[in-house]
């Protein structure tokens, strides 16, 4: 039996209320928003080939909109690429955010 080796990233999403966004309400963090933002960042920074290689096991497993924590599953081979793409994210939608890595773990 083949076991898939994945990495799990626990990320915290900081919403920046200090930026001058007139008329923009804070967004609610959802799995769809986080997943789409990370996929778009991978596409912009690593191109279609980078997106194609990283997208297979990529999954936003859990998002808590109250604490702004999310858990992201990614393959062991591509976790550095996804981590770099997450570092480049500056906004979700039109609202400025910053991702903070809290933990990186591996399931065997």
**CATH code, 11:** 3.30.70.3250
Phi and psi of 2, rounded to 5°?
-95, 130
Per-residue pLDDT tens over the stretch 48-102: 988 888 888 899 999 998 999 999 999 988 889 999 999 999 988 888 889 999 9
DSSP annotation of 26 reads: P
- Structural domains of the chain, count: 1
Give this prediction's pTM: 0.86
- Tell me whether residue 57 is in a domain: yes
Per-residue pLDDT tens over the stretch 4-28: 788 999 999 998 766 655 556 678 8
- Tell me whether residue 81 is in a domain: yes
- Tell me whether residue 1 is in a domain: no
Residues 27, 78: Cα–Cα separation, whole Å:
29
- Tell me whether residue 51 is in a domain: yes
- Tell me whether residue 52 is in a domain: yes
CB 42 within 8 A of CB 81: yes
Residues 64, 96: Cα–Cα separation, whole Å:
18
- Tell me whether residue 71 is in a domain: yes
For helices 31-54 and 79-88, angle between their N-to-C axes, nearest 10 degrees: 130
């Amino acid at each position: 039996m083949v076991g898939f080796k994945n990495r799990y990233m626990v990320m915290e999403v900081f919403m920046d209320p200090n930026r001058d966004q007139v008329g923009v309400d804070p967004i609610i963090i959802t799995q769809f928003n986080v997943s789409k933002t990370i996929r778009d960042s991978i596409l912009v920074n690593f191109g279609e080939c980078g997106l194609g290689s990283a997208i297979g096991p990529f999954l936003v497993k859990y998002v808590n909109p109250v604490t702004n924590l999310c858990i992201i599953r990614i393959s062991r081979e591509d976790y550095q690429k996804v981590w770099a793409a997450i570092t480049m994210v500056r906004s979700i939608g039109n609202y400025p955010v910053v991702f903070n890595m809290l933990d990186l773990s591996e399931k065997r």
